[in-house]
Chains A and B, each alone.
Chain A
Amino acid sequence: MDSSSVYIIIPSFNEAEVIRQTVEEVLGAGFKIILVDDCSTDLTKEKLKDLPVIYIRHKINLGQGAALQTGIQMARLNGAEIFVSFDADGQHDVNDIAAMCEKLEKENLDIVLGSRFLPASTTNISSSRKLFLKLASLINFTFTGILLTDAHNGLRAFNRHAAEKINLMENRMAHATEFLVQIKKHRLMFAEHPVHIRYTDYSRKKGQSLLNGIRIFFELILNKFFNK
């Protein structure tokens, strides 16, 4: 695997507290970073000064899905061969990236999805959050016909073919399900890969709440009817 054509896309909104650490870890592993700042109101940009990061700023807050799509388009323009989506809040483990890219190439897949619930995964997840995510993956199944062990895992690796096919129209959080919808629609070859998620007090505070889950559910229903 040639890591110079691997682009890590990090959508970020008000993560100044942890963003430098996240970015430095990824850079340390030798990957290129496209950071999409979704109109943060904190010091995100200042924190990243002097780091070799391609920095894109939305002039208006559009949502995580939109930021991810912007990052994908930028990576395509830069000639990326492998695209990796990575959360800004520091919950992902950089060491998983290489393994996922390797799996992508070796098994001739279009997209590898991170899962925190496979036998080899490690995570310090609470049981209520686990239940919530399991329920979410069942809901995803009813909407997409794809049954995964995990839902809303921000770590994914995909090839150029997938990046050219995928076009996220859901600007906010429903994009995670939209990924699955488009995998199905474009018949992309996919597999799950065990990843390590560390929940910190910070990421717990920032994470998905039940209320958000309900909101995502309604976004999905509307997406079903108005998807064009």
Chain B
Amino acid sequence: MTIIQLTLTVCLILIGIYMYTRLRSTLLDVILILLATGTGIFFVLFPDFTTQLAHWMGVGRGVDLLLYLGFLFLFFLIIKLYARIRKMEHNFTEVVRNKSIKDAENLEKKN
């Protein structure tokens, strides 16, 4: 096992444990965490397999395949996050607006 493999494996296990402590609500969560961590470690320990997979999909190297998939995933994530931010901003605007309208005052009468 090379140093990078050791580092990545340890990190993946730590992330898995962290996720487990945060989300251990349902059996499905646990299975998903195990599956994700397991797949990650598998690819770290047997990097040749990713290359085979990449070749099968028509990509030169396993790392390149990961790069493409990772890019797609990140792009998807950004869009989801942006949509959520917009929704939050909208809700937040409603709250501020309703409060402001409730507190409206006539400046002449006040004095």
Binding site for B on A (CB under 8 A): 36, 45, 48-60, 62, 66, 69-70, 73-74, 77, 169, 171, 222, 226, 228
CB neighbours (8 Å) of A57 from chain B are: 100, 103
Chain B's closest residue to A23 (CB) is: B107
| Of the residues A55, A69, A73, contact of B107 by C-beta under 8 Å | A55
- Distance in Å: Cβ of B110 to nearest Cβ of chain A: 8
A53: chain B residues at CB < 8 Å are 106-108
Binds A, one of B4-12, B16-24, B25-33, B90-98: B90-98
A64 → chain B closest CB, angstroms: 13
Does A56 lie within 8 Å of B100, measured CB to CB?
Answer: yes
Cβ–Cβ contact A69 & B106, under 8 A: no
Instruction: Given A222-B82, A226-B82, check contact A50 B108 (CB 8 Å).
Output: yes
For the residues of B in contact with A, the DSSP-based class is helix
Contacts beyond the supplied A54-B105, A171-B93: 15 A-B pairs with Cβ under 8 Å: A49-B111, A50-B108, A51-B108, A52-B107, A55-B104, A56-B103, A56-B104, A60-B96, A62-B93, A62-B96, A66-B93, A70-B100, A73-B101, A226-B83, A228-B87
List, in ascending order, chain A residues with CB within 8 A of B106's CB. 52-55
- Number of A-B residue pairs, CB cutoff 8 Å, is 60
Residues of chain B at the chain A interface (Cβ within 8 Å): 82-83, 86-87, 89-90, 93, 96-97, 99-101, 103-108, 111
Chain B proximity of A170: nearest CB distance (Å)? 10
Chain A residues lying within 8 Å of B90, measured Cβ to Cβ, are 169
What separation, in Å, do the CA atoms of A69 and B83 have in the docked complex?
21
List B contacts of A52 (CB < 8 A): 106-108
Closest Cβ of chain A: how far from B83's Cβ, in Å? 6
Contact partners of B97 in chain A: CB under 8 A: 58, 62, 66, 69-70, 73
A213 to B54, CA, bound (A): 45
Nearest CB on A from B85, distance (A): 10
Distance (Å) between the CB of A169 and the closest chain B CB?
6
Chain A residue nearest to B99 in the complex (CB): A59
Interfacial chain B residues near A73, Cβ < 8 Å: 97, 101
Q: Are B96 and A58 in contact (CB under 8 A)?
A: yes
